[in-house]
Amino acid sequence: MTDQAQTDARLRIDSLSKSFPGTQALSDLSLEVGHGEIRALVGGNGSGKSTLIKILAGVQPSDPGGRITVSGKSIAAGDITPEWSFAAALAFVHQDLGLFEHLSVAENVFVGLPYPRRAGRIDWRSLNREAASILERLRVKVSPHGPLAGLRASDRTLVAIARAVRGREGVHDGVLVLDEPTARLAAPEADRLLAALRQFAADGQTILYVSHRLDEVLAMADSITVLRDGAVVADRSTDGLDAGELSRLIVGHTVASTAESRVDTAAGPSLLEVEDVWTGPLRGVDLTVAEGEILGITGLIGAGTSSLLRAIYGAQKRQGVVRLGGRELPGGNIAAAVRAGAAFVPENRLRDGAFITLSVRENLSASYLRRFRHRLSWIDRRAEVEASTEAISAYGVRCRSPQMPVALLSGGNQQKVVLARWLTGEPRLLLLDEPTQGVDVGARAEIHRQVRAAAKRGCAVIVATSDADELLELSDRVVVLREGRVAVSAGRDEVDRHWLAQRVFGHDYLQESQR
């Protein structure tokens, strides 16, 4: 951690405000980030983090009155343009990295700029040389020639960072703004990226970064700014701060640690049996899940955790046998799986789960419309409204009425609607793909509570997650997929982060990291 953190402010924000019709997204926000400091920006969904980043990037104008100073250059916050932001050496890397799979690393670094030319043709040699020089100065060990597609997840983020700081005199001169850089990385990849970021900071890079992963924030950042409802509720060093206190600051009240209330329910009879399932990357997966058991599955990107859930549910063709409660589920037939009591919450809940222009009521009843069916296929509208009103209060969806289109709800509430749709159907088998990706701590605890409540009712649950904390908090048993097979299955008590890292990567990784 750097000593000079407070002496030399690289980024200074004075009384920044931003109002939208009906809401105050940011109110009188001030903060200061020193040279070489890693500052975490945390807060719930809707607390104003994204608005702050957009204002800094110059893509959204702030209310008049605020002032931004970057490395001594000062500007009225209302006047920032993307050009100013770039000239002031503010560099942004978003959660969606915006990289191109099929281009080379060097092309990705320089994409959007005119490539160097010689005699009218692209001068690939000089393009690769310049990319290599940026990567070298960042101490990133990646070849500029290779295709992006061959890179591991953490290296991709580093390539995106290289692109964000290209064209600067010193690669670490500016302020690097990262929006949830580890949200989609498996634990070992996240650790690797964080190590690289710490190295950047040691080299003098100032970093402002947004994350929902509290343990990571505490381990990684020098200092922390907590936003709630657009205002700074805490601005302090991470020394002496623990996760419990931090989540209290974020939510405004105490969040019960979900790990403690975990119940060992794995003793029930087996409800789901998966035998020798082949699909996509999967090459013969066998597993069983008991009534009331929460099975966590994890693996590297591409290990097939999503494919497994989709194959069980019938959203993807498969070979092999899946039985629910002793009865075989036909492959590739979602309707049959739903009728047998299966529920699937996709990873991208809004894109693949929400009907945004339809009402909350229509969204909630989507998976169990059959219950309201009367003669002549008629929908009992009153029963439907009653059921949706009940679900709205049970799952804490904030909306004015069940008739409101889902498009008008906040992102977090849209997610709740999709989840509530499946839980109110009281499924026997609940399949969740990355259930808490991109949600805040409060909502995450709430989702975990509901998943556990479903398990308590006797539902068999499979959670596919790349978030090690979630896996450890939620699962009764953990399965690691590697190379298309179950690499290992273990009870929760035998598992810790180190164990996971070893199993997820297998032995090659261990040998490599020992070298």
Q: How far is the CB of 334 from another protein (least distance, A)?
A: 5
The nearest distance, CB 417 to another protein, in angstroms, is 12
The nearer residue to another protein, 221 or 354, going by C-beta atoms, is 354
**Whose Cβ is closer to another protein: residue 290's or residue 443's?**
443
Instruction: Assign 224 to helix, strand or coil.
Output: strand
Report the SS3 class of residue 510: helix
In the complex with another protein, the residue whose CB is nearer, 98 or 269, is: 98
Residue with tokens 């964000």: 164
* CB closer to another protein, 73 vs 339: 339
Write down the least CB distance from residue 242 to another protein, Å. 29
CB closer to another protein, 103 vs 350: 350
Report DSSP state, residue 217. Answer: H
DSSP-derived secondary structure letter, 3: S
Closest distance between another protein and the C-beta of residue 170, in Å?
18
Residue (195 or 358) nearer to another protein, CB:
358
Q: Across the strands, what pairs with 26?
A: 18
Q: Rounded CA gap, 372 and 361, in Å? A: 12
Q: Which is nearer to another protein, 83 or 239 (CB)?
A: 83
Query: Residue 464 CB, nearest distance to another protein (Å)?
Result: 15
> How far apart are the two ends of the chain, measured CA to CA in Å?
27
Contacts of 95 (CB under 8 A, 6+ apart): 179, 180, 181, 183, 184, 438
Q: Phi and psi (nearest 5°) for 362?
A: -65, -35
Least gap, CB of 367 to another protein (angstroms)? 4
Interacting residues with another protein (CB under 8 A): 54, 57-60, 82, 85, 91-96, 98, 112, 160, 163-164, 179, 315, 334-335, 337-339, 344, 346, 348, 350-359, 362, 366-367, 369-370, 372-373, 376-379, 381, 400-401, 403-405, 407-408, 411, 414, 421, 438
Whole-number Å distance between alpha carbons of 49 and 53: 6
Q: Report the run of H or E that residue 273 belongs to, with start and end.
A: strand 270-279
Cα distance between residue 415 and residue 390, in whole Å: 17
Nearest-approach distance from CB 362 to another protein, in angstroms = 7
Q: Cα–Cα distance between 133 and 429 in angstroms, integer?
A: 52
